[in-house]
Amino acid sequence: MKKYNFYAGPSILPPYTLENTAKAVLDLNGTGLSVMEISHRSKDFIAIMDEAGALFVELLDIPDGYSVLFLGGGASLQFAMLPFNLLNKKAAFLNTGAWSKKAIKEAKLFGEVDVVASSEDKNFNYVPKGYTIPTDADYFHITTNNTIYGTEIRNDLDSPVLLVADMSSDIFSRPVDISKYAVIYGGAQKNLAPAGMTFVIIKNDILGNVDRPIPTMLNYQTHIDKGSMFNTPPCLNIYAALQTLRWLKKNGGITEMGKKNDAKADLLYNEIDRNKLFEGTAQHEDRSIMNICFVMKDEFKELEGEFFEFATSKGMIGIKGHRSVGGFRASTYNALPIDSVKALIEVMQAFEESH
């Protein structure tokens, strides 16, 4: 039976990425060596790093004056690394979910934190609006997409201070005006590569303004100066990321990917809104195109377990909602074909007809 992978992360990757990475695990470019066993200082791997960085710049249209870093530690390490490097006195945050809260907790270790707005009052089912960013903050931090609650900031904000964004789960899903951001970071395990690699896009001239000493490995300047090669990088993950970047370029780049993602999300949201059994959990204007969260309507709550078993029997994998929200979640990342969304819709409609 065919499987339809809706996991939120680690999640679906393009077949192109899986096939080429699998080949390189056995033999990289005819070297007779695995990508897992060659030196990161070898010309073969340096070429991989250079091409991956260049494709980041090309696909995202990153302007001059920025560096692209490939690090370890996941986005969770960035929650501490950012304030270590950028927070002198105060950081401002928009609290839109679990990942924002984790970032806020780490920043409080380094200085004052101003949460300018929060959607926690409604279990993070919307993105706050109408707030004021304090001009005396060292930076303003947002999480653009919230995998647990299914909300997303789809526009590039204008900020009077340095704008920092966690784009772990929606990077490469739509065009982004990089010039509006000082830092964009994320774990790779959603739209890019297997878990274990972290990307950081950072404006070079924002560093060197904090008074505290920064441990070498936690200093962004270290990794900029050494081209992400200060220590051994996550080589296999970077190779896999390179394959995904090549796949993105072959398939029309980010603009084309954004159109496909909008089409997938529109199909599924339209079915959720039409179907008598289901309803979405996020407010309409803030709905994510990457993580589509929905539940049974109150009068059908007792059917949730039955629907999950039915959907699983039809090959739907990873659609169970996060424990803090319940219900269901279909993650429609770049690599998910539109046919998978259509298959899920057919399952929803069949379940509706039988009830």
Residues 197 and 334 in one domain: no
90 part of a folded domain? yes
Does residue 9 lie in a domain region?
A: no
Provide the pLDDT for residue 323: 87
Residue 267 sits in the same domain as residue 299? yes
CATH of the domain at 293: 3.90.1150.10
Residue 4 and residue 345 in contact, taking contact as beta carbons nearer than 8 Å: no
| Parts of the chain with a pLDDT under 70 | none
Could you tell me if 296 and 211 lie in one domain?
no
How many separate domains does the chain show? 2
Question: What does the pLDDT look like over 53-81, one tens digit per residue?
Answer: 999 999 999 999 999 999 999 999 999 99
User: Is residue 326 domain-resident?
Assistant: yes
Task: Provide the CA 322 distance to its chain's centre, in angstroms.
Answer: 16
215 shares its domain with 269: no
Question: Does residue 91 lie in a domain region?
Answer: yes
- Among 214, 231, 250, the domain boundary falls at 250
7 within a domain of the structure (yes/no): no
* Domain extent for 167: 15-250
In the chain, alpha helices (H)? 15-26, 43-60, 74-86, 98-107, 220-225, 235-250, 253-274, 304-313, 338-353
Classify residue 127 as left (phi > 0), alpha (psi -120 to 50) or beta: beta
The answer on 322 and 288 residing in a single domain is yes
- CATH number, residue 183: 3.40.640.10
Q: Looking at 219, 250, 281, which one is the last position of a domain?
A: 250
Catalytic site residues?
Answer: 99, 166, 190
Q: What is the pLDDT of residue 22?
A: 98
- Tracing tokens 């770049």 back to the chain, one arrives at 334
Whether residue 4 lies inside any domain: the answer is: no
Q: What is the pTM of this model?
A: 0.97
What are the pLDDT digits (tens) for 283-338? 999 999 999 999 999 999 999 999 999 999 999 999 999 988 899 999 999 999 99
Q: In the numeric block, which tokens belong to residue 255?
A: 């603009």
Contact in structure between 167 and 189 (CB atoms under 8 Å): no
State the average pLDDT for the chain. 97
